[in-house]
Amino acid sequence: SQELEQSPQSLIVQEGKNLTINCTSSKTLYGLYWYKQKYGEGLIFLMMLQKGGEEKSHEKITAKLDEKKQQSSLHITASQPSHAGIYLCGADEGGNEKLTFGTGTRLTIIP
């Protein structure tokens, strides 16, 4: 199965600053999904990347998938308190809709 590593494990950022979270796979990804989770709650879908070199943006969040489709980054510009939470990347194992999740990155925004 896929092995996904996320870095950093936790991140404390002052409000207004930019930040980047990385997700690295041991294998080529068929699809890479980014979710946000607040403790004890479900996952909120952020973005899905499928093609090598693909980049998507939504509001202040941009996600990229490298050409080799083994690494993805999530970048938040001008962070806000509402961005706080746990960010999880999920990888599709062979295009069969089963997702393997990374270890998660806990983001804290300091006012």
Partner 1 sequence: GAVVSQHPSWVICKSGTSVKIECRSLDFQATTMFWYRQFPKQSLMLMATSNEGSKATYEQGVEKDKFLINHASLTLSTLTVTSAHPEDSSFYICSASVGSAPSYEQYFGPGTRLTVT
Q: Give the residue, chosen from 43, 71, 73, 84, that forms a contact with partner 1 under the rule CB under 8 A.
A: 43
Q: Give CA torsion, residues 69, 11, 79, 24, to 10 deg.
A: 0
Residue 102 touching partner 1 (CB under 8 A): yes
Residue 3 touching partner 1 (CB under 8 A): no
Helix (H) or strand (E) holding 109: strand 105-110
Residue 22 touching partner 1 (CB under 8 A): no
Residue 84 touching partner 1 (CB under 8 A): no
**Least distance between partner 1 and beta carbon 106 (Å):** 9
Residue 71 touching partner 1 (CB under 8 A): no
CB 15 within 8 A of CB 81: yes
Residue 103 touching partner 1 (CB under 8 A): yes
Smallest CA-to-CA distance from 36 within 79, 90, 78 is with 90
Collapse the DSSP code of 81 into the 3-class scheme (helix H, G, I; strand E, B; otherwise coil) and give the result. helix
Question: Half-sphere exposure (CA, 13 Å, Cβ side) for 58?
Answer: 10
Residue 31 touching partner 1 (CB under 8 A): yes
Residue 62 touching partner 1 (CB under 8 A): no
Which residues sit at the interface with partner 1, rule CB under 8 A? 30-31, 33, 35, 40-45, 48, 50, 88, 90, 92, 95-104
